[in-house]
Structure 1
């Protein structure tokens, strides 16, 4: 199954700002962020290894993995009966490093933000 084009349901291209917001929403879910961090830490993990480490229902973990693959953060490779996940783009690690730097400089404000 291929990924969809970057168009709205009425076939008009989505504005860059909307697409960028979707990047942040994808990473804005703590479990998806945990998945990426685990895979960065280990280089690659099988689906079963991820299920064991996440401590969430398998169906929910599968949804998160599907989202991360679909959106281009992870790749998946079948090895026999196993599905192996890896980070699709090494810039993801840099993206998280930059986010942590931003957080360390703005933690109090982010912690108390009432708009979220």
Structure 2
């Protein structure tokens, strides 16, 4: 580990249990394969429950249930347009979490670990 990485690691404060649980809840929510597929699907463009269900070959009730959990963790937002709700990612951080994790895994495999 170089000096810059050591300095960054020493600057990270250990959160209290409440804050840590809030952070871990986001990871827990994102760790479900169906929810992650929904996240990646709506990352492309705002999309309705019907369109998500069709794209992922899921029941609409399943998609709705998963979207409720994603909304609860503020990972997804629903925007109403007439009678339809179009779902989109709450912000770019959601995809950044996914992308950074993917890079971490790819680097680990490249190093033979």
Q: TM-score, normalised by structure 2?
A: 0.76
Name the structure 1 match of 2:43: 40
Q: Aligned with 1:83: secondary structure?
A: strand
1:88 and 2:90 are equivalent in the alignment = yes
Select the residue among 41, 54, 57 that pairs with 1:55: 57
Name the structure 2 match of 1:31: 34
Q: Aligned with 1:45: secondary structure?
A: coil
Q: TM-score, normalised by structure 1?
A: 0.74
Specify every segment of 5 or more residues in structure 2 that has no aligned partner in the other structure, as ranges.
1-15
1:65 and 2:67 are equivalent in the alignment = yes
* 1:105 Cα offset (Å): 2.4
Q: Aligned with 2:78: secondary structure?
A: strand
Are the counterparts in 1 of residues 78 and 88 from structure 2 also a CA contact under 8 Å?
yes
Select the residue among 98, 101, 104 that pairs with 2:100: 98
For the pair shown, the structure with the greater C-alpha radius of gyration is 2
* Structure with greater helix percent: 2
Specify every segment of 5 or more residues in structure 1 that has no aligned partner in the other structure, as ranges.
1-12, 110-116
Number of aligned residues: 96
